[in-house]
Amino acid sequence: MIAYIVRRVLLSTFTILVISFLSYLIVQLPEGDMVDAYLNLMHERGMGEAPGRSIEQVDVLREAWGLNRPLLVQWGDWFSKIIFKGDFGYAFSVAGHRAGGGPVKDLIVERVPFTIYLSIFTILITWIFAIPVGIYSAIRQNSIGDYVFTFLGFTGLAVPDFLLGLVMMYVLYAYFDHSVGGLFSGEYANAPWSFGKFIDLLEHLIVPGVVIGTAGTAGLIRIMRNNLLDELSKPYVLTARAKGLTSWRVIVKYPVRIALNPFISGIGGLLPALLSADAIVSVVLSLPTLGPIMLDGLMRQDMNLTAALILMYSSLAVVGVLISDLLLVVVDPRIKLTGSARGGGGGV
């Protein structure tokens, strides 16, 4: 077990190292570089010259930011600062933020708590509904309830999240006089934390939580249903029932435990989801999460901000897959530690 963990940790570390280089490379693929994007943005804000700025001005900025060095040297300097100093660089384009941007670390820290609140709330809604509904649909296969949940599930998968968000915003405002947008009401936006502010946060989390979690809930319901149906038809279930065990105990103790494997293997995607949420939905609902600033950074070629967020999401995915592989061994004893965690969870 220890050798397996060490091997997976070393492989995960190497994967993150490769991801860091690819993250830095991807944001430099579009035409131009960060200097061009920065000067264009300053011109739009009336703080700089027209796009036909002098060559000397461009060269000075490229030298100051180290963009005139080889790509591998730039990446090594950027990644070493992150590892040893926690310095992610400076972001110059942040929608809705101070005009001059700010340190990437400060921008991330500022929005991480709200992103985590929304993501945890969404995950709880997804799992609380998906697991029992999936069990019910499998046990009551081809019943009216199964057909109803199947229809709702396919509808949830088909409707785009941002469209559902717009519809819910209109319905709540037009028929219930409830203003939707942001995570706090006006009187609580800048107020210190209190019980009233906590309740206000929960009220504002309902709409984005339902909107973002709809597709995930529908998908997990289908996965839970299909996996449980496969397990219910296996001989060990028939044997347990023949020994006189109650139907509910047989289902919960054995088939459900095995059918939960996809939920555990999905942890690899849960960790980055805790910090990403849904960028488009966050823009539509005016949510102060990391998604909108990453989208803005991509559009404006803000290299430091975009590369840092891509690296962070990718690293969390790698760590999540590692955790899910280890948990699968605990949940499903059939999975053997022989080079890779077979039976689910994928690899790093």
Length of the chain in residues, anyone?
348
What is the band of 193 on the pLDDT scale with cuts at 50, 70, 90?
A: confident
pLDDT in tens, 74-98: 888 888 888 888 888 777 765 444 4
> For residue 192, what is the DSSP state?
P
Q: Would you state the pLDDT for residue 13?
A: 86
pLDDT in tens, 120-146: 888 888 888 888 888 888 888 888 888
Looking only at Cα atoms, what is the longest distance across the chain? 86
Backbone φ, ψ for residue 240 (5° rounding): -60, -40
Distance CA 68, CA 72 (A): 12
In the chain, DSSP assigns E strands to 90-91, 102-103, 337-338, 340-341
- Structure tokens belonging to residue 94: 């942040």
Strand partners, 340: 338
- Structure tokens belonging to residue 33: 């570089």
Distance CA 259, CA 256 (A): 5
Distance CA 121, CA 111 (A): 16
Backbone φ, ψ for residue 285 (5° rounding): -95, 5
Does pLDDT of 150 surpass 50? yes
Q: Would you state the pLDDT for residue 313?
A: 83
Most confident of 8-12, 98-102, 185-189: 8-12
Q: Would you state the pLDDT for residue 51?
A: 47
- Please answer whether residues 276 and 314 qualify as being in contact, where contact means their C-beta atoms are separated by less than 8 angstroms: no
pLDDT in tens, 31-43: 666 676 666 666 6
The CA distances from residue 79 to 17, 20, 21, 163, 180, in Å, are 9, 7, 8, 38, 40
Q: Would you state the pLDDT for residue 33?
A: 65
Question: Per mean pLDDT, which range of 4-8, 31-35, 58-62, 236-240 is the poorest?
Answer: 31-35
Q: Would you state the pLDDT for residue 333?
A: 59
Q: Would you state the pLDDT for residue 339?
A: 45
Region 162-180: what's the mean pLDDT?
Answer: 79
Beta-carbon count within 10 A of 99 CB: 10
Long-range contacts (CB closer than 8 Å, 24 or more residues apart) made by 36-42: 36/301, 37/92, 37/93, 37/300, 37/301, 37/302, 38/92, 38/93, 41/92, 41/93, 41/300
Question: Per mean pLDDT, which range of 46-55, 63-72, 260-269 is the poorest?
Answer: 46-55
Most confident of 45-59, 92-106, 132-146: 132-146
pTM of the model: 0.70
Distance CA 180, CA 28 (A): 37
pLDDT in tens, 305-315: 888 888 888 88
What is the band of 245 on the pLDDT scale with cuts at 50, 70, 90?
A: low
Does pLDDT of 202 surpass 80? yes
Distance CA 80, CA 27 (A): 18
Per-domain residue ranges for the chain?
A: 107-292
What is the band of 50 on the pLDDT scale with cuts at 50, 70, 90?
A: very low
Distance CA 29, CA 71 (A): 12
Q: Would you state the pLDDT for residue 98?
A: 46
Does pLDDT of 164 surpass 80? yes
Distance CA 294, CA 86 (A): 19
Mean pLDDT of the chain: 75
Q: Would you state the pLDDT for residue 54?
A: 58
Does pLDDT of 340 surpass 60? no
pLDDT in tens, 258-307: 777 777 777 666 667 656 657 778 888 888 888 888 887 777 777 788 88
Which CATH number is 107-292 given?
A: 1.10.3720.10
